[in-house]
């Protein structure tokens, strides 16, 4: 596994040398747009709507839209002056309880491994987080962006998760559809809770879930690559009961 960032976790006066590794590996097929007849990749040109022509790289600048159709141009020197300095440390700011972060704040996950095997400071920090059930909140710069992150004990190592900033989270109260609540009867609620108990499991096992679309895509690609004929079988969708028959639908689900 190749590391994507090398630095340290600064914990008080303790410095813990680490490497970050991407914890997630997307398995989705990367599809390309191709010319129908020649099967060659389609490429996009840098096009100007104003003069309806392709624009050379040296004639392209960076800008921010401040109002509809109005832009403020920022040159490389201005961007360089405000860009955060490259960081080689995750500065721990505070510690919180392990259940204090709402899932909506989680962004990307990274495994943090010790720079050198059997580094005592790394394993001491990991064990302290585990036994106190705490998460460290830190800040660091990676790829010219300043990140807020959560650092926690995970299995036999440490997990670093970048967090969305508070101002990046949209307000759920802005949804017009949530401003009025329908009346829910006790009978409906009791049946819904009974259905939840029926489907409940003691332990979540993510390994039993698969992306069926990607699996079927893989089968089709392999067969077509061998020149085999593809037979498409349509699966029938589950019929859902309309809202006015909610009681009947809940009762039928329990059978």
pLDDT 10s digits, 217-227: 888 888 888 88
Q: Is residue 74 situated within a structural domain? A: no
The count of structural domains within the chain is: 2
* Cα 92 to Cα 137: distance, rounded to the nearest angstrom: 6
CATH number, domain containing residue 89: 2.40.290.10
| Number of neighbouring beta carbons within 10 Å of residue 41 | 9
- pLDDT by residue (tens digit) across 13-61? 899 999 999 999 887 778 889 999 999 999 888 989 888 889 999 999 9
Same domain, 164 and 99: yes
Same domain? 99 vs 187: no
Do 95 and 203 fall within a single domain? no
Same domain, 95 and 141: yes
Residue 242 has pLDDT above 70, yes or no: no
On whether both 107 and 21 belong to a single domain, the answer is yes
Query: 238: pLDDT confidence band, cut at 50, 70 and 90?
Result: low
Q: Are 9 and 18 in contact (CB under 8 A)?
A: yes
Same domain for 164 and 189?
Answer: no
Residue 154 has pLDDT above 90, yes or no: yes
- Please work out, in degrees rounded to the nearest 5, the angle formed at the alpha carbon of residue 236 by the alpha carbons of 232 and 239: 160
Mean pLDDT of 76-86: 83
Helix 246-254 and helix 186-199, axial crossing angle in degrees, nearest 10: 30
In this structure, are 117 and 212 located in the same domain?
A: no
Q: Look at residue 253 in the predicted model and tell me its pLDDT.
A: 82
Range of the domain at 152: 5-27+83-168
Same domain, 131 and 202: no
CA-based nearest residue to 212, from 28, 23, 33: 28
Tell me, letter by letter, the H, E, C secondary structure of the chain: CCCCEEEEEEECCEEEEEEEEECCCCCCCCCCCECCCCCCECCCCCEECCCCEECCHHHCCEEEEEECCEEEEECHHHHHHHCCCCCCEEEEEEEEECCCCCHHHEEEEEEEEECCCCCHHHHHHHHHHHHHCEEEEEEEEECCEEEEEEEEEECCEEEEEEECCHHHCCCHHHCHHHCCCCCCCHHHHHHHHHHHHHHCCCCCCHHHCCCHHHHHHHHHHHHHHCCCCCCCCCCCCCCCCCHHHHHHHHHHHHC
* pLDDT of 96 strictly over 70: yes
Within-domain flag for 95:
yes
Name the residue with higher pLDDT: 239 or 41: 41
Query: Same structural domain for residues 17 and 121?
Result: yes
Q: Pick the range with the lowest mean pLDDT from 85-89, 98-102, 130-134.
A: 85-89
């Amino acid at each position: 596994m190749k590391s994507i960032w090398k630095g340290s976790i600064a914990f008080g006066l303790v410095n813990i040398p680490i490497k970050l590794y991407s914890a997630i590996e997307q398995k989705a097929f990367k599809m390309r747009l191709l010319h129908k007849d020649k099967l060659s990749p389609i490429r996009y040109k840098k096009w100007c709507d104003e003069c309806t022509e392709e624009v050379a790289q040296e004639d392209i600048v960076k800008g921010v839209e401040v109002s509809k159709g109005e832009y403020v141009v920022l040159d490389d020197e201005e961007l360089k002056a405000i860009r955060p300095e490259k960081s080689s440390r995750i500065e721990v700011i505070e510690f919180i309880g392990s259940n204090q972060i709402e899932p909506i704040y989680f962004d990307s996950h990274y495994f943090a491994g010790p720079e050198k095997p059997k580094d005592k400071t790394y394993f001491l920090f990991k064990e302290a987080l585990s036994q106190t059930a705490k998460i460290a909140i830190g800040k660091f710069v990676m790829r010219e962006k300043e990140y807020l992150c959560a650092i926690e004990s995970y299995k036999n190592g440490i997990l670093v998760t970048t967090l969305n900033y508070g101002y990046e989270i949209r307000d759920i109260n802005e949804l017009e559809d949530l401003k009025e609540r329908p009346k829910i009867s006790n009978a409906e609620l009791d049946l819904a809770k009974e259905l939840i108990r029926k489907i409940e499991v003691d332990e979540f096992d993510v390994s039993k879930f698969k992306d069926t679309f990607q699996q079927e895509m893989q089968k089709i690609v392999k067969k077509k690559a061998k020149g085999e004929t593809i037979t498409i079988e349509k699966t029938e969708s589950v019929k859902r009961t309309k809202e006015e028959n909610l009681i009947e639908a809940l009762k039928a689900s329990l059978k």
